[in-house]
Structures are given as structure tokens and as C-alpha cells.
Structure 1
Amino acid sequence: MPHRLDRTRASICSAAARLIAEDGMTDYTQAKRKALRQLGLPEGTPLPTNGELDDALREWQAVFQDDEQRERIRHLRQKAVELMQILQEFRPYLTGSVLDGTAGRFAEIDLQLFADSAKEVEIFLLNRGIPYSHATPRNDRAEAVLVVESDDAVANLVIYPTLDERIAPKSRDGRPRERARLGAVQNLLAAGSPD
């Protein structure tokens, strides 16, 4: 039975990884549930962990999107560096799939900013002629999410209170979410490594 369960989990991971990489799904739980339905498995089937899905996504991208993936990650990290340089006074951190190297075809750049208020960031963007829109924060700790779009990238500026910089936010599986300051992202770019 455990061997069959492992194969089932691997099948779910593979199908969910394809949904994330090809179709642009960003919610891991949604991708796993859709994969479950596509495979015709019963609703109560144990789902793989987010860590297992991360591993499957990396494998899928390495096999089916290797060169495209490397170029996408390089491009998005370069865009992130440009934005982080502009937003230095708000102590930006890069997080998410662009940082960890799993960014799919429709991935967006996620930057954490720290300010006394979201209005401070909005005024900063307005003064520099940088258009933005509002999005709904994904968690209750974030004060606001401002979306900055260019022709070839979308960045989510997730604004937290200044004191929250010391608190590492949690990832999908409850572990502290990886994040990187400008220098670390520049080092990743210089190294040319997707992860």
C-alpha cells in the first residue's frame, strides 16, 4: 500500500507541477486539488506536501523548460533588482518563486517593503511617475499590496509596518519564507544560477 501511495503522490505532484508551470496557477493547494480531479482520484486522497510539489516543479521545469526557465528567472530577477534599487528607502526584500527559482511562465515578482504607512509608498511612486494599482493582501499582516506593471513584468509590492521587518513571514508549508535583500539578489544574478 505505501508504494502505491507514493506513486499516487508522485502523479499528483507531476500533474500539479504542470499546471503551475504551463497554466500559471500560483496557489499550490488549488493546483493539487485540480490535479486530483484531472487524475480521477477520490476527494479524500492524501495530497503531497508543498515541499514535494516544489521538488516536482523544479524537475518538471528542468525537463520541459530548462533554457526558457533560466532566461525567465534571470529576466525577472533583473527587473526585481531595478525596482529594489528604486525602492531602497523601504528596505525591499525579494521573495517567492522569482527568488527560489521556480517562477513559471506567468510568474510575478513579489517584493516585501517596510514603511510607516502604505500611503508613504504610494506618494513615493506617484512622485516618480510610476503607475500602480491596488490588490488584496494575501495575509492580514500586510498593510497593502501595490501592483506595478511594465510591458514584460508584474511586481507585487507587499507593504508591511516598519516593525514587521524583524518577523520572517511564513511560507505555504509554515516554515519561514525565504527572502533576500538587494545585494543577495545581485549575487544570484552574477552567479547566473536559477536557485
Structure 2
Amino acid sequence: MREQLAQHAARLIAESGITDYAFAKRKAARQLGAAETQHLPSNDEVEAALHSYRALFPQPEQRQNLPQLRQEALAAMRQLGPFHPYLTGSVLSGSAGPDSDINLILFSDDTKAVLLFLLKHNLEFEDGEWRLRIGGREETVPSYTLTSETGTPIHLVVLPENARYSGIRHHETHADIAAVEALLV
């Protein structure tokens, strides 16, 4: 059932332009008659299904759009360099479509430092919070959403500096500036 939910959620993301994986998983569960299930697939499972779906049903704009999204991600990462940014999500994995957003992880022990940086550089943004598990504990961390010149949402999640060294990053799922540059060669 988890695999079916992941595949259906991936199809919804690819065909409907949904960018919120949690929403896509819940919608898939409702559509498959499993609205009450507590065993939804992980984001990684949906991402793998989305990658397979896009490999089976390639969209011409996807091939053109992915390099552009990676260029936009790289530009944002360079600008946010003091916070040691990492690219994650569909733009890194290659499963991004025309409606995909860019997801960056930043590191700073001073949660206001990123906010002040955005204000200092006159970058328009929306602020929020992100709940995730760090070191076995559920934590709420600051997040910001920017919009690129082409209208692509760029989500920034700010983690404490020690998370940068905790081993939560894997080269398959997290890419620094040099790794993103290598993808564009």
C-alpha cells in the first residue's frame, strides 16, 4: 500500500504541479480509499516514485527546466554563501518539473543572522517555521521563502551549525556549491 501511495502521490505531483509532498500523500491516500492510514510513504519514497514516473513519462519542458532551476539554485547558494548552503530535493535529484521549487538548507547558530542578511540585501521573503527531527528530537527551525527572478519559490530552512557536522547530510541528497557546479558542467 505504501508503494501505491507513493506512486499515486508522485503522479499527482508530476501532473498537477503540487509541490507539497505531505499534501500529495494525503490526497493520494484519500483517492485510493486509505484516508485514515497512519502509514504514509516517506518523502524519499515519493521522490523515488517521482523520479521513476518522470523517467517513464518524460516531459520536454523538464529537460529544459532542470538546468535553469539548478542555475537559479546555484545563484541563490552563492549569495547565501556565509551560511554554508546545501541544495536538496527534486532540483538536486533531477526529478524536478516545471512547477518545482528550490530547497536549500542553511546553517547558523544565530537564527536572526539569516533574517538580517535577507533584510540587509533587500530580498523580499516570507518567513515561517519548519518542524523536523534533529539529533533524535523534534525541533522547530526558522524558514524563509524567496522568489527567484523567474518566479520560482526558493525555500530556506535554517539549521543550527552543529547539524552541519552531525552526519545528517549525504552526498546523494545534499549538495554544496561545488557539487551543484559539477552538476551543471
TM-score normalised by structure 1 residue count: 0.75
Task: Please list, as runs of the form range in 1=range in 2, the aligned pairs for 1:124-139 lying within 5 A after superposition.
Answer: 124-139=117-132
Distance in 2 (alpha carbons) for counterparts of 1:42 and 1:141: 27
Q: Which amino acid aligns with 1:117?
A: D
Instruction: Tell whether 2:182 aligns with 1:187.
Output: yes
Structure 2 counterpart of 1:153, one-letter code? T
The DSSP-based 3-state class of the residue aligned with 2:53 is helix
Sequence identity (%): 40
Supply the distance in 2 between the matched residues of 1:51 and 1:129 (Cα, whole angstroms).
34
2:86 maps to 1:87: no
Q: Structure 2: where are the runs of 5+ without partners? A: 133-137
- Number of aligned residue pairs: give it: 179
Larger Rg: 1
1:97: Cα distance to partner?
1.4
* Equivalent residue for 1:178, pick from 173, 177, 185: 173
Find the aligned partners of 2:130 and 2:50 in 1 and give their Cα distance: 25
Per-residue CA shift, 1:50-79, capped at 9, x if unaligned? 555433322321233333222222111111
CA shift in 2, pair 1:11/1:178, >3 Å:
closer
Whether 1:54 aligns to 2:52 is: no
**1:146 corresponds to which of 144, 147, 166:** 144
Distance in 1 between residues matched to 2:18 and 2:131, nearest whole Å: 15
Higher helix share: 1
User: Which protein has the bigger strand share?
Assistant: 2
**Equivalent pair of 2:70/2:180 in contact (CA under 8 Å):** yes
8 Å CA contact 1:168, 1:177 repeated in 2:
no
Corresponding residue SS for 1:112: strand
Instruction: Give the distance between the partners of 1:122 and 1:46, measured in 2 at CA.
Output: 36
CA contact (8 A) 2:77 2:85 kept: yes
Aligned to 2:65: 72
CA distance in 2, matches of 1:58, 1:93: 20
SS at match of 1:84: helix
Unaligned stretches of 5+ in structure 1? Answer: 1-7, 191-195
